[in-house]
Structure 1
Amino acid sequence: RGGGDDQAMIDRMHALMGTLEGADEGMLTSALTLIVKICTAIQQQPAAPKVRSIKRRGAAFQKVEALPPLIDLLACAGFQFTSDADGESVVLPQGASLYILSELKGLCDSHLRRVAPQAAAAAPAAPAAMDRGTRVFVRVEGGVDPARIEVPDSFFEFTGADLKAAQAQAPGSGQLMTKTMRESLKPKYKYCLLRVRFTDGLILQGLFRAGERAEAVKRWVDSCINTPDRIYHLSTQPPVRKVTDAASLPKSLAELGLAPATLLNFFWQDGVSEGAGFIRRDLAATASPLTAAALPQPEAGPARPPSRGGAEA
């Protein structure tokens, strides 16, 4: 399905949500909360059939059944309504767009914030969503090396304590550095810029907080490629180290040594690379030549340590 078809479905979904104005608040809140849970489960385990199939006659799903526009909403997002010996089910096929699924989840979340402001206010504050600044590049022969990434000062966090320690070790201070002081001088990263290189020559770029887990990177890549259900891996430059294996996914990007910037290589687990392009067609259509200026500026921040050079992945 092309980008235009996706947008038509998204527009239809917005229209359907508009028809729910005036619906019973408690019923709508319960139904939307369930849809958000279903979407989240699929995003976290896109290849697991069990999270893609929901019993239509189950007590939980009856909350959705009670509001017919929500059934149409699920259909717009690619869900299919099936019937077999086990009963009726709502199923999201493996080939359905996870991009549309993400839009569905965001739409329901947004509506929940409007219909249940008290519940939202009582919930623990979640970190603000990170704008990935997703971009697609194509490397020009003789152009910028995608592995050489000079990140802006705002990627670094340098505290007053760091400055004092730096002054203490300045030439002529006569003070020896303790282990604690040496540790305090290590750069602290707020952000992590990641580039994912595909074998078809395209490069995907996104911005993360250094404390985010590798799981967030996988979800981002899933949302950007054509076949997220197919098993793939992301690995660092030699020495090669997978950052999408079970042991790495729960770790932060800082823990994995990916901050402040890293180039990762994308490869399918089965080793087969033939067929359509990796990146979604609508995203691939925005590809531009990779230049030294192709970096995000997340925010203004304190200067990095003077001794720190550019980050090279």
Structure 2
Amino acid sequence: MADKIKNFFKRKKVDAKFKLAGPGHRLDSSSSSFESNRSKTSYAPPQRIEPTIATRQAAEAALARLNNQKKDTPFNTSLAAIQAQVRRELEAEKKDGGNNNIPEYRKPIETELEASPLLAVKGVYFRCPMISEEVLPKEEWRGKIKTFLLEQLEEERGLTACLMIHSCNYSRSKVTECMDVLCRYLDNIIANPTEVKFHKIRCQNALFKDKVEPIFGAVELLYAAGFRQQEIDHNGTLEQFWVFDVANVEGTQTLEFLRDALKSEDRIELEVDRNIQVLSPAQAAKRIELPNEFYAISPEEIKKEQMYRTEAMEKQMQLRTKAMREKDELREIRKYKFALIRIRFPDGIYLQGTFSVYEKFSDVLAFIQENLEHDCPFIVSSPTGHKYEVADHENTLMHLRLVPATILTFQWDPSIAEEITSVTTTYLKPEVMMLIQSL
């Protein structure tokens, strides 16, 4: 079992024990007053100390050394130099036997393009930090997550079943309905532990067959809660039942723990891989099409709607108010699940990344920051020239209308622009610049 899964299970069990321990209490009045006074004490952050003259002189000396280093050993970011370096690395790889020294999860995924060869990105890929560092399409991750959780059942059946229910079923409404029924089964036994009628679930019961049985992981949760399948006489006919036996669990506390774990809705999350690309101006101008994965509706539905919109466009433009046009614009944006963000730098290079439309603008800023060669303040502007402020950082890309694709403009903050440009003319890290695609 992965260490992260072990830590997750351990943390959930500790939380459950803490809750079952009951409310806290004071041992005596003196300690009570001490705790009260301590809780009221406000935290005062340490004041920032201005740098001393010696510190400033050391910083100036470091800056002078950096200037000298830049003159002696400049980093050539010209397109021709980068392409030459890429060719040298490819030739070296061939001599070493190709990708033999590259870990499996780092090797590129070969895919066939179903649409135009001018796709801006080949697809949408994901990571799953709880399981591995692989980068895969969502469909492949779904299969791997199921396999991974099935392997954990013997070691921790209850929590694994909860993860299976919330991670491996993709209709949230059906998962919610199943969760409500399972919680009702558990609550009935917790409230009436000796009531026999609550100990049996008929497998042919319509509610069980429609809401519980089809959900992946539901029967595993029943097993962890002390239920076992048995044949029982029902109106003169032997039928399958799930029957609860308190001997299969450590009291009703286990049922409370499973109910709370189920309601917490923890799941194994996928993270959108940024699929970083670095493009020249010519490449950025050519690659304009998005793959089908970016859309929340099928390609056929998109074509039908486009035909309808084309036919009705002239009439709509005559009759619609500004509010109606904005409403239609939002409806158009909601067709997309992902956004392609390109950041244009003053040297003409573009940095490209893939984001969920529900990610915040602060995630875009973090993406830019982690790929910059220098950790300095910067400003990002929209295609219309709007400079994004702090108030925009917590807004989603959908809210800011940066969907399905947009080009943002990068510039250093004016307060440090002159200083940083006097030291360097590069923007992205050298290892990121090596990703630039050949023409």
Report which structure shows greater RCO (CA 8 Å, sep ≥6). Answer: 1
Bigger-Rg structure (1/2):
2
TM-score (norm 1): 0.45
TM-score (norm 2): 0.34
- Structure number with the higher helix fraction is 2
